[in-house]
Chains A and B, each alone.
Chain A
Amino acid sequence: MQPDKQNANLRIAALVSVGKHPGSGRARRAEQDARAVEMGLAMAPQGLEVLHAGDPHAEALRAYAGMGLKKLRILQQGENADAVPALSQYLSETKPDIVLTGVRAESGESSGMMAYLLGEKLGMPVVTRIAEIVSIDNGQANLLQALPRGQRRALRVPLPFVASVDMAAATPRQSAFGPASRAEMEAKAADVEVLDEVQASWSEAPARKRPKRLKVVKAKTAADRFKAATAKSSGDGGKVLRDKPASEMAQAVFDLLLEEGVIR
C-alpha cells in the first residue's frame, strides 16, 4: 500500500469473526473481515486494533494475526452470546475513529446487521460496502463505496463512523504461519454477556441447492452480450432526494417504507 495513505494518529478497530469455507465448511479467516484488516493495516498500521468477540482459542483467528499483527484483542464470551453488546460496550470505551466490519459473517446468523446495530448503539454514521478509504482530511474521510458491476460511489463521511467492507476492497495480504503462531491473543472477559436468544432458538442445517432458472441469452452479437453484462440495473421508481430539508427527506423514506409494508 502507498505509505502516504498511512495516518499516524488514526485509530481503527477492525472486527473479525471466524469464517467458514463454502466448500469444506472448515473454519478460516473470513474473506470480508480479512479485507477490513487489510484496509486497517494499509491506513493505520500503528493505530489498528483487531477485535473479536467470542472464543480466544479459535485457531482460525490466528490467520488474521498472520497478516502481521502483534496481537488480537478478544472479548471472551460464550458460544451463544450476542457479539453486539460486548463489542459496543468495548468500542464506546475505546472510541476508535473508524470501525470496520465485514458485510456479513460466513457462519452463524449471518444477518449482515452488525454494522447497523453497532452504528445505532454507538451513535455513529454507518457506511455500507466500502471498497476503499481514499484519504482522510479535516476529520472527514473520503470513501469509495462499492456498487454492483464495478461501479463506485464517492462519499465523504465525518469521523467517527462504522463501515462494512465489501469484497471489492483490496485483497488481504497472505497470512504467514510464523507471526500467526506467535501473536498474542489478548483475551479478557467481555464486560457484558447477553445470550443471543434468537440464535439459540434456531437450528442449523446445510442449505439445499435449489434449482435455478437458466438465463436465456437473447443477445445475438458479442457487443449485445457485452452490453447486457455491463448495463446498469434499471430499477424503476427510484427517486434521488438531495438538498431538501431533512424532515422532508425522512418523511419520503418513511412513506416508502409504509407503502412497501416494511413498517406498519
Chain B
Amino acid sequence: MILDWLLPVLISVALLLAVAGMLKRISLWRAGQPEKVSFFSGLMAMPRRYLVDLHHVVERDKYMSKTHVATAGGFVLSMVLILAVHLFGVENRWVNYALLGALVLMFVGALFVFKRRLNPPSRLSKGPWMRLPKSLLMFAVSFFIATLPAAGILPENFGGWVLAAVLAAGIVWGMGELLFGMGWGGPMKHAFAGSLHLAFHRRPERFGGGRSTGLKPVDLTAAKLGVEKPTDFKWNQLLGFDACVQCGKCEAMCPAFAAGQPLNPKKLIQDMVVGLAGGSDAKFAGSPYPGIEVGKAEGGPNKTITEGLVSPDTLWSCTTCRACVEECPMMIEHVDAIVDMRRFLTLEKGSTPNKGAEVLDNLIATDNPNGFNPGSRMNWAADQNLRVMKDVKEAEVLFWVSDGAFDMRSQRILRAFVKVLKAANVDFAVLGDEERDSGDVARRLGDDATFQSLAKRNIAAMSQYKFQRIVTTDPHAFHCLKNEYADFYPEGQKPDYEVLHHTTFINELVKAGALSLEEFKGGTVTYHDPCYLGRYNGEYDSPRELLNELGIEVAEMERSGFRSRCCGGGGGAPITDIPGERRIADMRMAEIKETGAELVAVGCQQCTAMLEGVVEPRAEVKDIAELVADALIEGDAPVSKKNGKQAKPNADKRVAEEIL
C-alpha cells in the first residue's frame, strides 16, 4: 500500500526539516553573549527539572497539568514508537499496541486542550495557538488509523488509496505542526527550546526547591554596559525567551498590567523573541501592552531594542515584584531581562525617567535617595540611646536601620522595633552614620555602578566589627544584604553572618519566650506579603506565626503568599512613575477591603508608605513591629535564654554623658 513507503519518507523529511530548523534556531541563540553553563550535567539534570521542578509550577493549575502530562507524554511516547514502527519497520504486535495506546493518551489530552481553547481566558494567546489542539488531534488520529493495519486490527489495504491520501494529508498536517513547527518557530517550539532552557538555565539554583533571586553583577569595565540589542543578552537568556508558551500566567499576575501601565510581561518576552529572530510583532495574538497598539513594533538581533521594539516606558513600569517569574511554568526570568535593559538606559544613555536621575545623583553624593545630610542619619534615634558599632565594636546583632531613618513614618516602625529589641534584652548595635543606602533602588533603576559602590562601602564598614546576625525592618535592604552583597566582598572573603528580617527575628524571640505579649484587641486583620520578603526570600510563615502569637487570625487575601500582589513601591516604580489607568496601591487596598479587614499588617516601610498613600476611608496600615510593640507587656520582660546577654550596664550612661 502507498503508505508503506510514503510514511517513512514523510517522517524522514519532517525530521530532517525539523533538525534543520532547530540548528537555525540554535544559531540565533548563539548570537548572544557567552555564558558558562555546565553542559553535560545540565543536560543530565534536564529530565528531572522537567518532571519535578517544572511540573511543580504547572501543578498549580491541576487541569492544565493533567492535560499536559497526557498530551506531551502521549506525544513523546508515540513519537518514539512511530520511529520504531513506521521508520525502522519494527514488526512486533505489542509495540504496535503500545503505539496505539500512546496515541489514545495523546488524543485524550488533546481533547482537553481543545476544550480549554473553546472559550479561552484573555491571558492566553490566540493565533497559531488556537490551531495547536486541532493539529494534535489530527496527528493522533491519523497515526492511529495508519497504525491499525500494522497492528493487525484492520486488513492491509483497508480503505484503498482514498483513505491513504486522507491519512497522508492528516499526517503531513500533524507532523508539520509537531515536528517542522518545533524547529521553525511554531507553537511547538516551546518543547524544543523549553527543554534546552531547563538544561542551561542561568539560575540552576532554582531547581530542586532552591531560590535564586539576586541580580547578576555588571562588569563595569565592559565596552558596553547593559543590554542594548537582543544579541547583548547572554545566549541562554535568548534561549529562555524562546521557551515561552504564551500562557499569559505572567500577564494575569502583573500589577503594572492590571494598573493599565504599558507593560505586559508576556508581550515583553514575545518582543524579545521578535528581536532575536528579526521581524515585527504583527503576528502577536495576545493582549497588548495597555495603551500601545500591536503591529507597530519592529526589531532585529542587532537593532537597539528601545528604538522601535519596546518603549522605555514599558521597561520602567515594572516594579520588579517577580510575580511573573514565580508564575511562569517555563521558569523564564523576566526581571533579569528588564533590569538588563534598564542598565543600558541608565548607565549608557543617562535616561532614567522622572525623578530617577535626581535620586541617583543623591545616592552618589549623599548615600541616601533624598539628598539628606549623611551626618544626620542617626537623628531619628536621638532619644533612643542606641549603641553604635564605632563605640562598641562588637554586638550579637547588627540592626540595619535603612533609609527609613530619614522618613518620619518609617521612624515609627524603627522605634517600635527598638522597643521590642530592648524589651527582649537583645545585645544589638547600629552602624550609625557609617551605614549607607543598601543600593536597592539604584540597582533596580539599572545603576549598578552606584549599587556596587554603596555595597562595597557598606561591606567595608561592616567588616570592621564583629556580629553574628544582621536584622533589618526593610525587606529591600534584607534582600541586598542577604542575596546580592556576597558578590562584592574582596577576594577570598565572604559574609560570615546571617541576615534576618525583623519578623523572623521577633518570631524567634517570642518562641524563645523573650517577650510577653498581650492579645490583640482590634478587629479583623489581614497581612500583605512584601515582594522582597516573600517571593524574593521565601519568608511567608514568620509574619503569620507572629500575628497568630498576638491572637490574630489572619483574614487572607485572595492574592497572598507567593501570589501576593505588589504594593507598587518596588523597583523604583514610584520614582520613574509611569502613568497608568489606576494606581497599584489602590488596587491592593481594594483587595484588602474585600477581606473586611480594619487593619492590614505589613513588614516593610515601603509597603506602609504606598498603602498609607491610598485615600481614606481605608484599612489602617501597621508594621508588624508596631503591632508587637503595642502588645508588649512591660516591666517584667523575661530574660531570654538565647538572646539574653544583658546590654552593657554603662552603655546608657556613657551615651547620656556624650549628649550632655
Of B224, B356, B364, B447, which is in contact with the most chain A CB atoms at under 10 Å from its CB? B364
Q: Is the CB of A177 within 8 A of B447?
A: yes
Q: Is the CB of B347 within 8 A of A177?
A: yes
In the complex, what residue of chain B is closest to A67 when comparing beta carbons?
B350
CA distance A164 to B447 in the complex (A): 32
CA distance A262 to B367 in the complex (A): 45
B366 interface hit (Cβ, 8 Å):
yes
Q: Is the CB of A174 within 8 A of B366?
A: no
Selected interface stretch from A22-30, A76-84, A88-96 = A22-30
Q: Is the CB of B351 within 8 A of A174?
A: yes
In the complex, what residue of chain A is closest to B453 when comparing beta carbons?
A177
CA distance A68 to B350 in the complex (A): 9
A66 interface hit (Cβ, 8 Å):
yes
A178 interface hit (Cβ, 8 Å):
yes
Query: Which residues of chain B are within 8 angstroms of A21 by Cβ–Cβ distance?
Result: 365-366, 371
Q: How far is the CB of A11 from chain B (nearest CB, A)?
A: 24
Query: Which residues of chain B are within 8 angstroms of A23 by Cβ–Cβ distance?
Result: 365-366, 371-374
CA distance A181 to B220 in the complex (A): 9
Of A67, A68, A173, A178, which is in contact with the most chain B CB atoms at under 10 Å from its CB? A178
Q: How far is the CB of B404 from chain A (nearest CB, A)?
A: 18
Across the interface, B374 reaches (CB within 8 A) one of A24, A67, A68, A181, namely A24
A128 interface hit (Cβ, 8 Å):
no
In the complex, what residue of chain A is closest to B225 when comparing beta carbons?
A178
CA distance A92 to B375 in the complex (A): 44
Q: Is the CB of B366 within 8 A of A175?
A: no
B494 interface hit (Cβ, 8 Å):
no
Q: Which A143-196 residues have a C-beta within 8 angstroms of B?
A: 173-179, 181
Q: Is the interface of A mostly helix, strand, loop or mixed?
A: loop
Q: How far is the CB of B181 from chain A (nearest CB, A)?
A: 41
In the complex, what residue of chain A is closest to B348 when comparing beta carbons?
A178
Query: Which residues of chain A are within 8 angstroms of B224 by Cβ–Cβ distance?
Result: 178
B449 interface hit (Cβ, 8 Å):
yes
CA distance A181 to B221 in the complex (A): 9
B349 interface hit (Cβ, 8 Å):
yes
B-side interface size class: 20 to 34
Q: Is the CB of A176 within 8 A of B373?
A: no
Q: How far is the CB of A95 from chain B (nearest CB, A)?
A: 31
CA distance A92 to B366 in the complex (A): 39
Q: How far is the CB of B263 from chain A (nearest CB, A)?
A: 22
Query: Which residues of chain A are within 8 angstroms of B447 by Cβ–Cβ distance?
Result: 177
B360 interface hit (Cβ, 8 Å):
yes
B215 interface hit (Cβ, 8 Å):
no
Q: How far is the CB of A128 from chain B (nearest CB, A)?
A: 26
Query: Which residues of chain A are within 8 angstroms of B365 by Cβ–Cβ distance?
Result: 21, 23-24, 26, 28
Of A23, A66, A67, A68, which is in contact with the most chain B CB atoms at under 10 Å from its CB? A23
Query: Which residues of chain A are within 8 angstroms of B347 by Cβ–Cβ distance?
Result: 176-178
Q: Is the CB of A176 within 8 A of B348?
A: yes
CA distance A246 to B225 in the complex (A): 59
B280 interface hit (Cβ, 8 Å):
no
Q: How far is the CB of B458 from chain A (nearest CB, A)?
A: 16
Q: Is the CB of A24 within 8 A of B366?
A: yes
Of A67, A174, A175, which is in contact with the most chain B CB atoms at under 10 Å from its CB? A174
In the complex, what residue of chain B is closest to A173 when comparing beta carbons?
B350
Q: How far is the CB of B375 from chain A (nearest CB, A)?
A: 8
Q: How far is the CB of B350 from chain A (nearest CB, A)?
A: 3
CA distance A178 to B351 in the complex (A): 12
In the complex, what residue of chain A is closest to B367 when comparing beta carbons?
A24
Q: Which B350-374 residues have a C-beta within 8 angstroms of A?
A: 350-352, 356-357, 360-361, 364-367, 371-374
CA distance A59 to B598 in the complex (A): 53
- A24 and B373 in contact, given A176-B346, A178-B347 (Cβ under 8 angstroms): yes
Of A24, A66, A67, A173, which is in contact with the most chain B CB atoms at under 10 Å from its CB? A24
Bitwise, B323-366 to A at CB < 8 A (1) or not (0) is 00000000000000000000000111111100011001100111
Q: How far is the CB of B456 from chain A (nearest CB, A)?
A: 15
In the complex, what residue of chain A is closest to B371 when comparing beta carbons?
A23
Query: Which residues of chain B are within 8 angstroms of A177 by Cβ–Cβ distance?
Result: 220, 225, 346-347, 447, 449-450
CA distance A125 to B353 in the complex (A): 38
Q: Is the CB of B350 within 8 A of A175?
A: yes
Bitwise, A15-39 to B at CB < 8 A (1) or not (0) is 0000001011010100000000000
Query: Which residues of chain B are within 8 angstroms of A179 by Cβ–Cβ distance?
Result: 348, 350
Query: Which residues of chain A are within 8 angstroms of B360 by Cβ–Cβ distance?
Result: 174
In the complex, what residue of chain A is closest to B221 when comparing beta carbons?
A181
Q: Is the CB of A174 within 8 A of B350?
A: yes
Q: How far is the CB of A176 from chain B (nearest CB, A)?
A: 3
In the complex, what residue of chain A is closest to B344 when comparing beta carbons?
A178
Query: Which residues of chain A are within 8 angstroms of B350 by Cβ–Cβ distance?
Result: 66-68, 173-176, 179
Query: Which residues of chain A are within 8 angstroms of B364 by Cβ–Cβ distance?
Result: 28
Query: Which residues of chain B are within 8 angstroms of A26 by Cβ–Cβ distance?
Result: 365-366
Query: Which residues of chain A are within 8 angstroms of B373 by Cβ–Cβ distance?
Result: 23-24
In the complex, what residue of chain B is closest to A172 when comparing beta carbons?
B357
CA distance A175 to B449 in the complex (A): 12
CA distance A156 to B235 in the complex (A): 58
Q: How far is the CB of A174 from chain B (nearest CB, A)?
A: 4
Q: Is the CB of B357 within 8 A of A174?
A: yes
In the complex, what residue of chain B is closest to A21 when comparing beta carbons?
B365
In the complex, what residue of chain A is closest to B376 when comparing beta carbons?
A23
In the complex, what residue of chain B is closest to A175 when comparing beta carbons?
B350
CA distance A206 to B450 in the complex (A): 28
Q: How far is the CB of B559 from chain A (nearest CB, A)?
A: 36
Q: How far is the CB of B220 from chain A (nearest CB, A)?
A: 7
Bitwise, B195-239 to A at CB < 8 A (1) or not (0) is 000000000000000000000000010001100000000000000
In the complex, what residue of chain A is closest to B374 when comparing beta carbons?
A24
Q: How far is the CB of B445 from chain A (nearest CB, A)?
A: 11
CA distance A143 to B233 in the complex (A): 47
CA distance A174 to B371 in the complex (A): 16
CA distance A24 to B372 in the complex (A): 8
CA distance A207 to B153 in the complex (A): 101
Query: Which residues of chain B are within 8 angstroms of A28 by Cβ–Cβ distance?
Result: 361, 364-365
Query: Which residues of chain A are within 8 angstroms of B357 by Cβ–Cβ distance?
Result: 173-174
Of B350, B351, B367, which is in contact with the most chain A CB atoms at under 10 Å from its CB? B350
CA distance A23 to B357 in the complex (A): 18
Q: How far is the CB of A258 from chain B (nearest CB, A)?
A: 45
Q: Which B422-463 residues have a C-beta within 8 angstroms of A?
A: 447, 449-450
CA distance A21 to B348 in the complex (A): 24
In the complex, what residue of chain B is closest to A23 when comparing beta carbons?
B373
CA distance A138 to B224 in the complex (A): 42
Query: Which residues of chain B are within 8 angstroms of A175 by Cβ–Cβ distance?
Result: 350, 361
Across the interface, A176 reaches (CB within 8 A) one of B349, B372, B375, namely B349
Query: Which residues of chain B are within 8 angstroms of A181 by Cβ–Cβ distance?
Result: 220, 449
Query: Which residues of chain B are within 8 angstroms of A174 by Cβ–Cβ distance?
Result: 346, 350-352, 356-357, 360-361
CA distance A37 to B360 in the complex (A): 19
In the complex, what residue of chain B is closest to A182 when comparing beta carbons?
B223
Q: List 10 A-B contacts (CB under 8 A).
A: A21-B366, A23-B371, A24-B373, A26-B365, A28-B361, A174-B361, A175-B361, A177-B346, A177-B449, A178-B225
- For the complex with contacts A174-B356, A179-B348, 5 further pairs of A-B residues with Cβ separation under 8 Å are A23-B371, A26-B365, A26-B366, A176-B346, A178-B347
Q: Which residues of A contact B (CB under 8 A)?
A: 21, 23-24, 26, 28, 66-68, 173-179, 181
Q: Which 8 A-B pairs have the closest CB atoms?
A: A176-B350, A174-B357, A174-B350, A23-B373, A177-B449, A21-B365, A178-B348, A24-B366
